Amino acid sequence: MCVARPVCIACTAALLGGLPLVGTAQEYPTQAVRVIIGTAGGGSSDTVGRVIADRLRERLAQPFVVDNRPGAGQMIGAEAVARAVPDGYTLGFMGGTYTTSIALRAKLPFDPARDLIGVARAGEGAFMLCVHPSVPAKTTKELIALARSKPGQMNFASAGTGSITHLVSELFVSMANIKVVHVPYKAGPPAATDLVGGHVEMMIGSLPLLMHHATSGRIRALAVTSAKRFKLAPTLPTVAETGVPGYEAMQWWGMIAPAKTPSAVVAKLNREINAGLSTQEIVSRLASEGAVPSELTAETFTASMNAEIARWKKIVHQLKLPLQ
């Protein structure tokens, strides 16, 4: 005699459809979650990513284990996330270089729009346009006039060819219609050191990297790159209002996941991260990285990343920058 057994409709659908078995969103997570960070330890993405991972560990009562996968402008980490099982137990944490790196790649082993989605954006930050004190310009407009008066004779530093500071600088140079020489470094700190030492004349870099040098007078801050005046540097004008109308370039940090991660799991993670952005601990840690909280839905964050990739691809093409 055949005895009928209860059938789990969700499990049957998952097996037939090839979807991961993760239980309900209420149950998730039931085990440790890996958070792949696309940079080495100690950088801004690592610092912010660990704060978010700690928040999720406290709220969801499971370990969120950081796995640093640096290299190739965050593409090594992004590929690892894209190839992971979409069950909510492998997530990624990236910064703005993620989108510029994609724009500069002639070919990728994954499709960002098809294989990855945004979960939540933790924060965003403006960059600062600074010059060495030996440069006589006191404003962005004066800097542009000075550079135009001696085309090709001035230079600017970046954190490396293809880095986000390289692209935001190239965008400034193009929109300002000036000719200056790019001096790439292996990272932001050595570039800032040479700016302080007068070995390079100008740089667009992060607030935490440059602000204390500007405050001490070792370099001169001219403007921020946000569309409106930035909360963490309220006395500085924007590049757009002081010489280059329409210019805007921002850094951001956020969590991503494989594209087929269950929507209920993504929504739960998004709620927990966004709720944490109002806590004093996370606000303070973001501020230490030159960022302010930036609450978005998962869908809006995904759309913003894809739009930014398209924007940077267009800029890379217009500026005829070499693809990697």
Q: Dump pLDDT digits (tens) for 194-232.
A: 999 999 999 999 999 999 999 999 999 999 999 999 999
Alpha-carbon gap, residue 207 to 213, rounded angstroms: 10
- On the question of pLDDT at 13 being above 70, the answer is no
Whether this model's pTM surpasses 0.75 = yes
Alpha-carbon gap, residue 35 to 32, rounded angstroms: 10
Q: Is the peptide bond before 70 cis (omega within 30 degrees of 0)?
A: no
- On the question of pLDDT at 6 being above 60, the answer is no
Q: Please determine whether the domains at 33-125+251-319 and 126-224 fall in the same fold group of CATH.
A: yes
Q: Report the pLDDT averaged over residues 41-53.
A: 92
- On the question of pLDDT at 20 being above 60, the answer is no
Alpha-carbon gap, residue 140 to 244, rounded angstroms: 8
**Of 324, 227, 266, residue with least CA distance to 28:** 266
Q: Could you give phi then psi for residue 183, rounded to 5 degrees? A: -120, 100
Kindly state the tokens that stand for 182.
């790019």
Q: Dump pLDDT digits (tens) for 130-151.
A: 999 999 999 999 999 999 999 9
How high is the pLDDT of residue 240?
Answer: 97
Percent of the chain with pLDDT over 70: 93
242 vs 24 pLDDT, higher one: 242
Within 10 angstroms of residue 26's Cβ, the number of other Cβ atoms is 7
Options 3.90.1640.10, 3.40.50.300, 3.90.230.10, 3.40.190.10; CATH for 126-224 is 3.40.190.10
Predicted confidence band of residue 42 (pLDDT cuts 50, 70, 90): confident
E strand or H helix at 172, and its extent? helix 164-176
How high is the pLDDT of residue 162?
Answer: 80
How high is the pLDDT of residue 24?
Answer: 63
User: Where along the chain do its domains lie?
Assistant: 33-125+251-319, 126-224
**Of 133, 191, 104, residue with least CA distance to 182:** 191
Q: Dump pLDDT digits (tens) for 263-298.
A: 999 999 999 999 999 999 899 989 999 999 999 999
Q: Could you give phi then psi for residue 221, rounded to 5 degrees? A: -85, 130
Alpha-carbon gap, residue 324 to 315, rounded angstroms: 15
Q: How far is CA 266 from the centre of its chain?
A: 19
- On the question of pLDDT at 23 being above 80, the answer is no
* Average pLDDT of the residues of the chain: 91
- Domain spanning 33-125+251-319 has what CATH number? 3.40.190.150
- On the question of pLDDT at 113 being above 60, the answer is yes
- On the question of pLDDT at 161 being above 50, the answer is yes
How high is the pLDDT of residue 17?
Answer: 43
Alpha-carbon gap, residue 178 to 143, rounded angstroms: 10
Q: Dump pLDDT digits (tens) for 69-91.
A: 999 989 999 999 999 999 999 99
